[in-house]
Structure 1
Amino acid sequence: MEFSDNSSRGRDISPRKRGPVELRRAQARAPQSDQYLLDSSDQTHFTHTDPWRVLRIQSEFVEGFGSLSELGPAVSVFGSARSMPGSAYYKLGEEVGRLLAAEGLAVITGGGPGSMEAANKGAVEADGLSVGLGIELPFETGLNDWVDLGINFRYFFVRKTMFVKYAQGFIVLPGGFGTMDELFEAMTLVQTQKVTSFPIVLIGTDFWGPLMDWVKGTLLAEGMISEKDLALIHIVDDPAEAVELMITDSAGHVSP
Structure 2
Amino acid sequence: MSTTEVESLAKLRRLLADGSSVRDLRLQDLDLTQVETELLGIDDFTGVVVLGGRLGDTLHRHLRLHGALVFPADPDVPFDAWRSHLYRPRELYAGLREHGYDATPDARSYRWSLDPNQDVYSSLLRAIHDDSISDALGEFLDGRTVVGVMGGHAVQRGSADYAMAAQLGHEVASHGMVVATGGGPGAMEAANLGALCTDATLLEPALTALAEVPSFRPDITAWARVAFEVRERVTADTGAPRSLGIPTWFYGHEPPNAFGNRMAKFFSNALREDVLLRVCNGGIVVLPGAAGTVQEIFQVATALYYAAADRGVLPPLVLVGDKYWRAEMPVWGVLQALAADRPMADAIHLVGDVGAACSTIERIANSQRPTSGPREGGIAP
- Judge conservation of contact 1:204–1:235 (CA < 8 Å) in 2: yes
- Judge conservation of contact 1:90–1:118 (CA < 8 Å) in 2: yes
Look up the match of 1:40: none
Give the C-alpha shift of residue 213 in structure 1: 5.8
- Once the two structures are superposed, the pairs formed by residues 161-172 of structure 1 within 5 Å of their partners are 161-168=274-281, 169-172=283-286
- Judge conservation of contact 1:16–1:140 (CA < 8 Å) in 2: no
- Judge conservation of contact 2:133–2:266 (CA < 8 Å) in 1: no
Of the two, which has the highest radius of gyration? 2
Q: Which one of the candidate residues 189, 200, 207 is aligned to 2:324? A: 207
Aligned counterparts of 1:200 and 1:16: Cα–Cα separation in 2: 39
Instruction: Say whether 1:111 aligns with 2:228.
Output: no
Aligned counterparts of 1:59 and 1:209: Cα–Cα separation in 2: 41
- Judge conservation of contact 1:90–1:114 (CA < 8 Å) in 2: yes
Instruction: Say whether 1:175 aligns with 2:289.
Output: yes
Instruction: Say whether 1:254 aligns with 2:326.
Output: no
- Once the two structures are superposed, the pairs formed by residues 145-160 of structure 1 within 5 Å of their partners are 145-160=258-273
Aligned counterparts of 1:200 and 1:214: Cα–Cα separation in 2: 14
Give the C-alpha shift of residue 74 in structure 1: 1.2
Aligned counterparts of 2:125 and 2:303: Cα–Cα separation in 1: 26
Aligned counterparts of 1:165 and 1:140: Cα–Cα separation in 2: 23
Amino acid at match of 2:265: N
1:92-137 superposed Cα distances (whole Å, 9 cap, x missing partner): 1011101011101111111111100110111111266111111111
TM-score, structure 2 normalization: 0.51
- From the superposition, tell whether residues 213 and 182 of structure 1 become closer, same or farther in structure 2 (CA, over 3 Å): closer
- Judge conservation of contact 1:174–1:207 (CA < 8 Å) in 2: yes
- Judge conservation of contact 2:161–2:187 (CA < 8 Å) in 1: yes
CA-atom RMSD in angstroms: 3.3
- From the superposition, tell whether residues 70 and 213 of structure 1 become closer, same or farther in structure 2 (CA, over 3 Å): closer
Give the C-alpha shift of residue 89 in structure 1: 1.1
Amino acid at match of 2:292: G
Look up the match of 1:70: 140
Give the C-alpha shift of residue 155 in structure 1: 0.8
Aligned counterparts of 1:214 and 1:202: Cα–Cα separation in 2: 12
Look up the match of 1:31: 114
Look up the match of 1:88: 160
Identity, % of aligned pairs?
Answer: 25
Deviates more, 1:164-173 or 1:64-73: 64-73
Give the C-alpha shift of residue 22 in structure 1: 2.4
Where relative contact order (Cα < 8 A, 6+ residues apart) is larger, the structure is: 1
Aligned counterparts of 2:161 and 2:332: Cα–Cα separation in 1: 22
How many residues align structurally?
220
Deviates more, 1:189-198 or 1:166-175: 189-198
Aligned counterparts of 2:361 and 2:136: Cα–Cα separation in 1: 25
- From the superposition, tell whether residues 179 and 226 of structure 1 become closer, same or farther in structure 2 (CA, over 3 Å): same
- From the superposition, tell whether residues 204 and 129 of structure 1 become closer, same or farther in structure 2 (CA, over 3 Å): same
Amino acid at match of 2:357: A
Give the C-alpha shift of residue 76 in structure 1: 0.8
Aligned counterparts of 1:207 and 1:104: Cα–Cα separation in 2: 29
| Structure with more strand by fraction | 1
**Gap regions ≥5 residues in structure 1:** 1-13, 37-44
Amino acid at match of 2:197: E
